[in-house]
Structure 1
Amino acid sequence: MLTHLSIKHFAVVDHAELEFGPGMTVISGETGAGKSLLVDALGLVSGMRADSGVVRHGAGRAELAAEFSLEDAPQARTWLHDNELDEDDGGACQIRRVIRADGGSRAWINGRPATVGQLLELSGLLVEIHGQHEQQALLTRTSQLALLDAFGRTGEERQAVAAAARHWSALLDEREALSSQGDVSDRIEWLEHQFAELERETLEPAAIEQLGTDHRRHAHAADLIATCDGALAQLGGDEMPSLSGTLQQVRGQLQRMQEHEPRLGEVDGMLDAAAIQIDEALTLLDRIRSDLDIDPDAFEAAEQRLGRLHELARKHRVTPDQLLARREALAEELVGLRGAGERLQMLDTEIDNARQAWRQAADALGARRREAAGRLSTDTTALIAELGMGGGRFEIAIEPIDDDRPDPQGGERIEFLVAANPGQPARPLRKVASGGELSRVSLAIEVATLGLDAVPTMVFDEVDSGIGGAVADIVGRKLRTLGERRQVLCVTHLPQVAAQGHAHYRVSKASADGITQSEVRQLDAGERREELARMLGGAELTREARAAAKRLLADVG
């Protein structure tokens, strides 16, 4: 629900702050005073295309802001959460837009920068403006279908159709992917050759690493043997002074002097530990030396195997340690291709079954829609007659669509049609020329569906154009009825409509120092009677006009 609208430097409005509550709020004023500017401001906040001409003369920019309570807008709360634009409490939302005099504009949702596309998406869940062709949600087939489904309560059937369509579509995509491969026999033969080459090699990463180690050991066998022999001689050999023997001599000398300096015992302990480490090193070094041997055949075998791995890696454009994954990928593709023929045959049967399942679900949905379309057409036709379009009729055209591909929306498309006068053919609602007729038809549809499209705020701009008298009273009562379920804002010039409002704003225009300016203010009870009297009697407020205004308000109760 719209709770606040702030307007600054917008057209002839210098500054205005409007508070809104539930029910029906009417906006009135003399012709040319700028009543519809409030609707235009709300339209720009909702993402309507901006024009620098809306900036007040002499100002650098126009600023517009709207605040909404989200208690009656769960879909908007979800959208804000999904787009990470929600507030912590999630109970309110502010949309702000600035239009510069140079034509540029910026927008914010809850203080965060937003695109015009995001404004359109969010505002479509918050407010619906009737009376301007470009702002009519009911002019789009998508919205019409959604409204009909809401009226017919087809949620369960729509879910079944969407699920059947997803399953059918997935099977079609799979078949298309398999069929696009064409004759796969050559591909299978090539893959089998590539796989066989890789299958002959041991490709586990640990084995490849060990092969590299063995290759390096054989390549440097002579140097390794010489190094090990030299180290063994220096550490513990008998033919030359060794490190092990030197340590033993040093320890003996220190032990003889320990009685004179006890701390030498600590040094001796360290040397003893070092001697143990040297002995263990000698043991391991001797084992390594015994494993070393100059083996040209083993070196050649390792050289050849390593060469094959590098050649395979270059061929498959991977590193040697990625060859195993490549082999597994080839094996997986082979399995898929070998079973492609059988899978295609199975898919034909599965697709036929999926098509039948979708068709059955779509038929059930279509039956619900046709029944709902009949009821909605009858109810809306009766209402537009009450709203001054006697002899007019409202119809819903239902057209089957091609079912070669699955459609999650069902097996038909619909369009709202209207004939404004007797004897005229019904035409699409989006092609109705008269804004007043379009607004009244929209009002009739909304009243017939009692706001089932779930948009919490509905705005009607000049919905009473071209009517008067008893019809005007009916229009007002229908708007008030709608206001019991949704928040309704109505720009009107008819007192019979204005009297039905729960709240009333008046727009007035005055000139000062050659500058025209509009003022918007909420009326109290006395001011409201005066405004209704003005709307009834013109500029001169007579006693009769005031009495008639009082009666209008009394009739509302």
Structure 2
Amino acid sequence: MRSDKWSRIDFLLAMLTTLAIRNIVLIEALDLAFGRGLGVLTGETGAGKSILLDALGLVLGARADSALVRAGEDQASVTATFEFAAMPDVILQALDDAEVELEPGEPLIIRRRLKADGGSRAFINDQPVGVALLRTLSAALVELHGQHDDRGLVNPRGHRALLDRYAGADVARVSAAWADWRSAKNALATAREGIEQARADQDLLLAHLEELTNIAPEEGEEELLATSRSDMQKGEKLAGDLEDLRLIWDGSDAPLARLRSAARRLDRIAPEHALLAEALASLDRAVIEAGEAEEKLEAAAEALTHDPLELDRIETRLFELRALARKHNCQVDELPEVMRDMRDRLDAIEQGDADLAGLENTESLAGAAYSKAAEALHKARVTAGAKLDSAVAGELAPLKLDAARFRTSITQLPQDRWGASGMDAVEFLIATNPGADFAPLNKVASGGELSRFILALKVALAEQGGAATVIFDEIDRGVGGAVASAIGERLARLADGGQLLAVTHSPQVAARGGTHYMIAKSSTGTVTKTSVARLDAEGRQEEIARMLSGAEVTPEARAQADRLLEGV
């Protein structure tokens, strides 16, 4: 997967194409179409430029405020359409995670519906989604820079990634090396923990193994012993009956002996008649059956022999085996496996030092590989930081910030703070006055200065891409003349091939716009409405003349407006 930001190519192939607003504050119904390049939005103070930004903020996941719903209406809605030549992976992944389905080539249509009694719903291509998804997508869709911007380029959390893209740094190599090092460290820690635990248990293992070895349990032994004990206990009960049966079967007058004698006599006369032969066959079978009965009686008597000493030995053995099984929390038949496991653990202790040495070597090599990659990344950052400082410095003087200084601070972190992004902390710092200390952007710059610093930095970083649409809100406040012209020239350069919208009060900036939208407020009775019109060439001349002269547009203002428009 690619980086969480886009390449310059992505930036050029994506834009906000339409914005439809219904019942937002003073806007009843408004449909705007946007194109590439620099679009400027102008209008008198209070005309409603902030309403447009608030409406766009809704589709980007801003907090739903029911006060935005136009008075007298039940609900309001804002729909924004973004189109892409090829939708970047960062958006596709976020949509896939949220199980939002899009057809290839389909635009991204985000709609936010807001109720007057509170609550809102969000949709992407008519599929309901959570507002959190809109906030996730917002960074890739719209980049807003205003007077009180505390995100984007001002937020130091993103400075390292910006510098890395500017440097074309191989952060992926560092990230992979970090993952390898962490894996090696974890394997080493696990092995050490295992060996330490095994060594702590070594004496106990030896004692248990000796005890088990002395008893030498065998698989299946418990069942054999239990059967033998049961047979002996039965034999004790049946001893009298077995003795009586033995007396019956023993001796010359025993039933089996008499059957055999009868069979011998019958054998001599059996040929004399068929029935005698049949009788002999029956008698032979009886002799055989009786013989088998005698053998089984003898075997049973032997198996059931009651030997008090042997019975005591068996019961003692069973008691010892079962006591050991309880001790080791296993079945008696599992004791041999317990012995093997103990031997393996003891062998592992002996082998552990050799294995540990190998893991320590692997961890050391992985750490060295990470340090080498991170150090190379650090050097690339330092080189790129100096280059960026120079590029930003070249933009400051034309923006009437010639006394200011910009510096990319690159600080190597202690080892416990190294990570997948290397060993550096990166932050963009400024000093607005000669001799002043460097400090974070939003700590020392006023609103107007901050916007111009952001513009300078944005221009310097232009080739690194950004969101689909970049918006500057009144970046030219408090400046005019040559500074305003410089701002307009840079905005136009920044918008080249991409899409940038600027809310402006400066005629010099407005003259740079490829498209010009005028925001106006009108009242009919007690009803006040805000409207937005896309101006043609004549309308542009008139609006820029108004911006130059104020309420009354003079011929001189129109002539000056023409000069501004001709000069761009």
| TM-score, length basis structure 2 | 0.73
Alpha-carbon distance in structure 1 between the residues aligned to 2:331 and 2:48:
74
Alpha-carbon distance in structure 1 between the residues aligned to 2:320 and 2:546:
100
Alpha-carbon distance in structure 2 between the residues aligned to 1:327 and 1:146:
56
Deviation of 1:404 after TM superposition, in Å, equals: 3.8
Deviation of 1:107 after TM superposition, in Å, equals: 2.5
**Residues 315, 369 of structure 1: alpha-carbon distance in 2 compared, 3 angstrom cutoff:** same
- Equivalent residues of 2:39, 2:516 under 8 A apart: yes
The answer to whether structure 1 residue 185 and structure 2 residue 203 are counterparts is no
Alpha-carbon distance in structure 2 between the residues aligned to 1:96 and 1:198:
74
- Equivalent residues of 1:169, 1:406 under 8 A apart: no
Partner of 1:146: 161
Higher mean C-alpha deviation, range 493-502 or range 88-97: 88-97
Letter in 2 for 1:529: Q
**Residues 308, 374 of structure 1: alpha-carbon distance in 2 compared, 3 angstrom cutoff:** same
Larger Rg: 2
Deviation of 1:365 after TM superposition, in Å, equals: 0.8
Residue of structure 2 aligned with 1:385, choices 390, 393, 397: 397
Q: What stretches of structure 1 of length at least 5 have no aligned partner?
A: 221-288
Higher mean C-alpha deviation, range 457-466 or range 167-176: 167-176
Residue of structure 2 aligned with 1:168, choices 181, 198, 206: 181
The answer to whether structure 1 residue 52 and structure 2 residue 66 are counterparts is yes
Partner of 2:524: 512
Deviation of 1:420 after TM superposition, in Å, equals: 3.0
Alpha-carbon distance in structure 2 between the residues aligned to 1:504 and 1:119:
28
Residue of structure 2 aligned with 1:125, choices 137, 140, 165: 140
Alpha-carbon distance in structure 2 between the residues aligned to 1:510 and 1:303:
106
- Equivalent residues of 2:417, 2:423 under 8 A apart: no
For residue 124 of structure 1, give the secondary structure of its aligned residue in structure 2.
Answer: helix
Matches within 5 A, 1:483-502: 483-502=495-514
**Residues 43, 423 of structure 1: alpha-carbon distance in 2 compared, 3 angstrom cutoff:** farther
Matches within 5 A, 1:61-76: 61-70=75-84, 71=86, 73-76=88-91
For residue 464 of structure 2, give the secondary structure of its aligned residue in structure 1.
Answer: coil
Partner of 1:543: 555
Alpha-carbon distance in structure 2 between the residues aligned to 1:324 and 1:5:
77
- Equivalent residues of 1:401, 1:413 under 8 A apart: yes
What is the aligned-residue RMSD (CA, Å)?
4.0
Alpha-carbon distance in structure 1 between the residues aligned to 2:339 and 2:25:
71
The answer to whether structure 1 residue 368 and structure 2 residue 380 are counterparts is yes
Partner of 1:227: none
Partner of 2:537: 525
Q: What stretches of structure 2 of length at least 5 have no aligned partner?
A: 1-14, 232-295, 306-313
Deviations along 1:510-555, one digit per CA (max 9) or x if unpaired, are 2233233211222222222222121122221222222222222222
Alpha-carbon distance in structure 2 between the residues aligned to 1:105 and 1:296:
87
The answer to whether structure 1 residue 439 and structure 2 residue 451 are counterparts is yes
Letter in 2 for 1:373: G
Partner of 1:237: none
Partner of 2:283: none
- Equivalent residues of 1:73, 1:455 under 8 A apart: no
Residue of structure 2 aligned with 1:22, choices 18, 25, 36: 36
Residue of structure 2 aligned with 1:43, choices 57, 64, 68: 57
**Residues 132, 58 of structure 1: alpha-carbon distance in 2 compared, 3 angstrom cutoff:** farther
Alpha-carbon distance in structure 2 between the residues aligned to 1:20 and 1:9:
20
Partner of 2:128: 113
**Residues 470, 313 of structure 1: alpha-carbon distance in 2 compared, 3 angstrom cutoff:** farther
Alpha-carbon distance in structure 1 between the residues aligned to 2:389 and 2:74:
49
Question: How many residue pairs were aligned?
Answer: 483
**Residues 89, 555 of structure 1: alpha-carbon distance in 2 compared, 3 angstrom cutoff:** same
Higher mean C-alpha deviation, range 34-43 or range 65-74: 65-74
Alpha-carbon distance in structure 2 between the residues aligned to 1:521 and 1:15:
12
Partner of 2:247: none
- Equivalent residues of 1:147, 1:453 under 8 A apart: no
Deviation of 1:197 after TM superposition, in Å, equals: 10
**Residues 404, 56 of structure 1: alpha-carbon distance in 2 compared, 3 angstrom cutoff:** same
Matches within 5 A, 1:250-399: 339-399=351-411
Alpha-carbon distance in structure 1 between the residues aligned to 2:337 and 2:536:
80
Deviation of 1:29 after TM superposition, in Å, equals: 0.9
**Residues 338, 96 of structure 1: alpha-carbon distance in 2 compared, 3 angstrom cutoff:** farther
The answer to whether structure 1 residue 12 and structure 2 residue 29 are counterparts is no
Higher mean C-alpha deviation, range 186-195 or range 175-184: 186-195
- Equivalent residues of 1:390, 1:421 under 8 A apart: no
Alpha-carbon distance in structure 1 between the residues aligned to 2:112 and 2:532:
20
Alpha-carbon distance in structure 2 between the residues aligned to 1:529 and 1:491:
17
Partner of 2:108: 93
Deviation of 1:128 after TM superposition, in Å, equals: 1.0
Letter in 2 for 1:35: K
For residue 518 of structure 1, give the secondary structure of its aligned residue in structure 2.
Answer: strand
Higher mean C-alpha deviation, range 94-103 or range 547-556: 94-103
For residue 465 of structure 1, give the secondary structure of its aligned residue in structure 2.
Answer: coil
Letter in 2 for 1:142: R
Alpha-carbon distance in structure 1 between the residues aligned to 2:126 and 2:318:
63
**Residues 177, 552 of structure 1: alpha-carbon distance in 2 compared, 3 angstrom cutoff:** same
- Equivalent residues of 2:147, 2:474 under 8 A apart: no
Partner of 1:248: none
Share of identical aligned residues, percent? 39
Alpha-carbon distance in structure 2 between the residues aligned to 1:96 and 1:306:
77
**Residues 305, 474 of structure 1: alpha-carbon distance in 2 compared, 3 angstrom cutoff:** farther
- Equivalent residues of 1:36, 1:491 under 8 A apart: no
Deviation of 1:381 after TM superposition, in Å, equals: 1.6
